Structure 1
Amino acid sequence: MPTSRTRAEVEKEMKEMLGLVPGFFKQIPDAYFDYEWELFKSLELGETLIPNKYKELMGLAIHAETKCRYCTLFHTEAARLHGATDEEIQEAVHFAKMSLGWSAYLNGMQQDYDMFAEELERIVDHIKEHAPA
């Protein structure tokens, strides 16, 4: 994968945007450096279909489970940077804990998937039918 910019050009842009070249970028091989920065810049720093605050809360919830302390710290601080409150951060982590618990239970008990899907469809239909207009 050829790069379109030199490492020095990309590092200059990083310094302008972030104030430094993060250590976790420094070991990326030259062949992938520009590509990885563009991906990071567009998905992590840029505005996408999902507002940044929500992306960061999702990242926090994911990495609370993967137990990556680097990612947990990064996404917590990025969520705060994008306006997340301590209460929203706590709720994201609590939601991850609850969701993962149900996953462990349903998979561990080998719940019938087809029955689960059919019941879920009935629940969704019921909620839609009884939703306020």
Structure 2
Amino acid sequence: MTTPHQHRSEDVTETSIGELIGDISNDLSRLFRQEVELAKVEIKEEAGKAGKAAGMLGVAGFAGYLAIVLLSFAVVFGLSNVMDPGWAALIVAVVWAAVGAVLYVNGRKKLKTVDPVPRRTVDTIKEDAQWLKNPTG
């Protein structure tokens, strides 16, 4: 009567080198596919962050444009009651330029937090490469 352990050793001794290489090739292919999937997930997460930051910049720009157009006219007309309309228009333009600068700086700061490199995938690929170099330890 053979034990399960003896049965496995007979299977291993009957396995050809070609089959072992085929198994390794299949395992490496599966590992590579998994790494690619992980990279896709990470890139999708980073693209989402970039999309949100770009959306913020877009909305800030549109809101700034509307504010400049509509409020500028109102403020210029209001200030025209106490000063020359040219000076009133200049003051309003400087104020909105400052607002635009603040929005730009904040949006740019958000974009700098986006990391286009899939860090977890890079780390696991490094681990896989290290394991392939030294599979026993």
TM-score, normalised via structure 1 length: 0.27
Structure having the higher Rg = 2
TM-score, normalised via structure 2 length: 0.26
Bigger RCO of structures 1 and 2 (CA < 8 A, at least 6 apart): 2
